[in-house]
Amino acid sequence: MERRGNYGYDAPYALVAFAAVGTASLAVSLVSWWNDSGRPAAMFAFYAVFFLANAASFFHTTTRGKFLVWEEILDGLRLRGDEQVLDMGCGRGAVLTAVARRLRAGRAAGVDLWSKLDQSGNSSEVTLRNASLEGVGDRIEIHTGDMRALPFPEGAFDLVVSSLAIHNISSNADRAKAIAEAFRVLKPGGRLAIADIRATAVYARTLLGLGATRIARRGLGWRFWYGNPFAGTTLVTASKPEATRGTGPARFLGGAA
Ligand SMILES: C[S@@+](CC[C@H](N)C(=O)[O-])C[C@H]1O[C@@H](n2cnc3c(N)ncnc32)[C@H](O)[C@@H]1O
């Protein structure tokens, strides 16, 4: 699928740091080699390869890999096209617009705090512009809010997605709060698909404690590494049982079919 929007870079300072350390190591290695210092030259050549390879992997993931992997995740969800979907920590809309393209009759909401440390050039205006460039401006809505206290009623969504967002919350207790919020706003029978680089075991445990079913975790492969396998992304999927006490369906998004 051709992308028309501009989605920036995830954690831009990490990408710049990898590239800067790699380039500096390369320079030191070349100078050492020029001065006939064999050992430092080899050591800095190793650092250069390591950090530049990390930068290349990170760059590929944030500009291409994550989009390809999310297309596959969304394909696997086999949406009907009339769902109400929430993207928690939607940023500039990479996943929000991808899911909205599949919603001929449904709608997608994005919620975010617009941190420019977590994504370059992050803002609600950019996300709205991307949605309109992708031809889905009429199927999305944007909310400014914290995913630990979602501004939506219980049982509002058929599907909650999130990509690389929840780990930005600093404690596991608060990450668990975000997961509990995602589960609260799901309709009975609704589904969750959360991709992240850290704490996914905490997400799975929290979902188990909340009574979620069909909880699964799986690695998303090299296309979703932020530099190396230790910063690889894992997908957590789960469902909300049909008959969870106290969760009646609620309509929230306007304009749904
Ligand atoms: C790395 S970006 C990923 C954005 C988008 N999901 C994507 O894949 O392109 C992480 C996003 O999480 C958002 N975020 C971080 N903490 C948040 C919180 N507590 N509530 C809502 N959004 C948050 C950031 O503002 C940022 O947009």
Q: Is the pLDDT of residue 176 over 50?
A: yes
Task: Report pLDDT digits (tens) over 2-61.
Answer: 899 999 999 999 999 999 999 999 998 898 888 877 778 889 999 999 999 999 999 999
> Residue 250: pLDDT above 70?
no
Looking at residue 92, the DSSP 8-state letter turns out to be T
Least confident of 60-74, 117-131, 239-253: 239-253
pLDDT number for residue 247: 45
Long-range contact pairs involving 232-235 (C-beta distance under 8 Å, separation at least 24): 232/197, 233/66, 233/69, 233/164, 233/195, 233/196, 233/197, 234/195, 234/196, 234/197, 234/200, 235/73, 235/193, 235/194, 235/195, 235/200
User: How many other CB atoms sit within 10 Å of the CB of residue 205?
Assistant: 15
Q: What average pLDDT score do residues 67-83 get?
A: 98
Asked whether 90 lines ligand 1 (CB < 6 A), one says: yes
Q: How far apart are CA 244 and CA 190, in angstroms?
A: 11
pTM: 0.91
Give yes or no for residue 96 CB within 6 A of ligand 1: no
The whole-number pLDDT of residue 72 equals 98
For the segment 204-216, what is each residue's pLDDT rounded down to a tens digit?
A: 999 999 999 999 9
CB of 110 shorter than 6 A to ligand 1 = no
d(CA 126, CA 105): 24
Testing ligand 1's pocket by substitution, the residue of 92, 168, 172 carrying the most ligand atoms inside 8 A of its CB is 168
Structure tokens at 130: 């991307």
CB 114 less than 6 A from any atom of ligand 1? yes
- How many angstroms does the Cα of residue 25 sit away from the middle of ligand 1? 32
Given pLDDT bands bounded at 50, 70 and 90, which one contains residue 255?
very low
Identify the three-state secondary structure at position 227: coil
Q: 118 CA distance to ligand 1 centroid (A)?
A: 6
Say if ligand 1 is within 6 A of residue 134 CB: no
The CATH T-level fold of domain 66-239 is: Rossmann fold (3.40.50)
Confidence at 253, pLDDT banded by 50, 70, 90: low
Q: 131: pLDDT confidence band, cut at 50, 70 and 90?
A: very high
Q: Please report, for the chain, the start and end positions of each structural domain, with discontinuous segments joined by +.
A: 12-58, 66-239
Predicted local confidence at residue 256, as pLDDT: 33
Percent of residues, the chain, with pLDDT higher than 70: 95
Residue 257 clears pLDDT 50, i.e. is over it: no
Q: Predicted confidence band at 223 (pLDDT cuts at 50, 70, 90)?
A: very high
Token pair in block for residue 120: 């370059």
Counting atoms of ligand 1 from 1, which one is nearest the CA of 91? 27
DSSP 232: B
pLDDT of 90-117, one tens digit each? 999 999 999 999 999 999 999 999 999 9
The pLDDT of 146-168, averaged and rounded, is 98
* Residue 78 CA to ligand 1 centre (angstroms): 25
Helices assigned H by DSSP within the chain? 12-34, 38-60, 66-77, 94-100, 124-133, 172-184, 200-210
119 pocket-lining for ligand 1 (C-beta < 6 Å): yes
| Residue nearest atom 24 in ligand 1 by C-alpha distance | 115
Three-state secondary structure call for residue 72: helix
